[in-house]
Amino acid sequence: VDLALDHWLPGPDLVPQSIHQAMRYSVFAGGKRLRPALCLEAGQLTGAIESDVLPVACAIEMIHTYSLVHDDLPALDNDDLRRGQPTAHKKYGEAIAILAGDALLTRAFQILSTVPGSGIGAPARIQVMQEIAESIGTLNGMIGGQVADLESEGKTVTADLLNYIHSSKTGALISASVRSGALLGQGAEHELRALTEYGANIGLAFQIVDDILDVVSSAEVLGKTPGKDRSTNKATYPAMFGLEQSRREARRLADEAIKALSRLGEQADSFREMAAFIVERVA
C-alpha cells in the first residue's frame, strides 16, 4: 500500500512543492492502513484482481488522511500530534494544511475515476465512487458525524446521538472500504450482505476503542495526545458508559461482526482477525 501511495501521490518536487510535500508528510507519517487492508481483503475474497483494488485502497487512505488533517485543525480538535509527528498545520501552517486536506480528497476522486488499463468497468467504478462519496458526506457520513461531534462538545447527548456520531464520522468510511473491495470483485449478494453487516459493526467498534485509547493510552504509544476528549468534553463512549462497559460493547460488536461472516467459511479468516485486532489494539 505504501509503495502504491508513493506512486499515486504527486512527487515532492512537483510545483507547488509545499502542497505535495504536505500531502506526503501526513500520508507517510505512519498509520495502520486499516482501511486499505479491509478493501484489499474484500477484493481478494470476492475474486477481484489485486492491481485493480490497490488504487482504490490508496484513494481511501488519502481520504482518511485528509479527514485526519482537517480533524486536527485549530478550528476542529486543535491537536499538535498525529501519527507520532507534529500535525500538518503545526508543520506547514494552517493554510497549507487545509489545502493539503482538500488536495488529498480531490486526488482520491481523480484516482477513483481513472482507468489505467484496468479490468474494472465504468459501472463498477461509478458504484465505488458513489459508495465512498456517500460515506464521507453529510447524510450519515463522515462530515455529518464530524459536525455532530463538534456541536456536541460540552453537551449531554443521548445514546442514539452518540451512536450516530461514531457510526457516521468513523464507521461509514470503514464500511465503505470493505464494501468497495467487494463491489470491485462483483461479490455475490450474500457476500455483500455479510461484509456490509461486518463493516457496520467493526466501524462502530473501532471508534469506541479510539475513545477508550484516548483515556488509557500514552502519546508515545498512540502517536497523538491522549486525554483530549475529556478536556474538550467530547461525546464519547467512556464518558457516557464508563471504560468497562465501553470495552464490553466494543467486544460485543466485534463478535457480531464475526457472526455476520458465518456463511463465508475460512476464506473470511482475515476479516475475523481484523475484527479481533480492532478491539485488542493498543494504538
- 128 close to 65: Cβ distance less than 8 angstroms: no
Grid cell locating 158:
443521548
In whole angstroms, the minimum distance from the beta carbon of 184 to Mg ion comes to 30
Establish if 68 lies at the interface with ligand IPE (CB under 6 A): yes
Q: Total residues contacting ligand IPE (rule CB under 6 A)? A: 17
Establish if 52 lies at the interface with Mg ion (CB under 5 A): no
In whole angstroms, the minimum distance from the beta carbon of 267 to ligand IPE comes to 25
| Residue from 41, 77, 191, 249 binding Mg ion (CB under 5 A) | 77
Nearer to Mg ion (CB atom), residue 9 or residue 173? 173
How many angstroms separate the first and last alpha carbons of the chain?
Answer: 20
Q: Which does 175 bind (CB under 5 to 8 A by kind): ligand IPE, Mg ion, none?
A: none
| Residue from 8, 27, 31, 135 binding ligand IPE (CB under 6 A) | 31
Find the binding residues for ligand IPE in span 107-166 (CB under 6 A). 142, 146
Establish if 71 lies at the interface with Mg ion (CB under 5 A): yes
Q: Which residues bind Mg ion (CB under 5 A)?
A: 71, 77, 210, 214
Q: Which residues bind ligand IPE (CB under 6 A)?
A: 31-32, 34, 64, 67-68, 71, 77, 83, 142, 146, 169-170, 207, 210, 214, 224
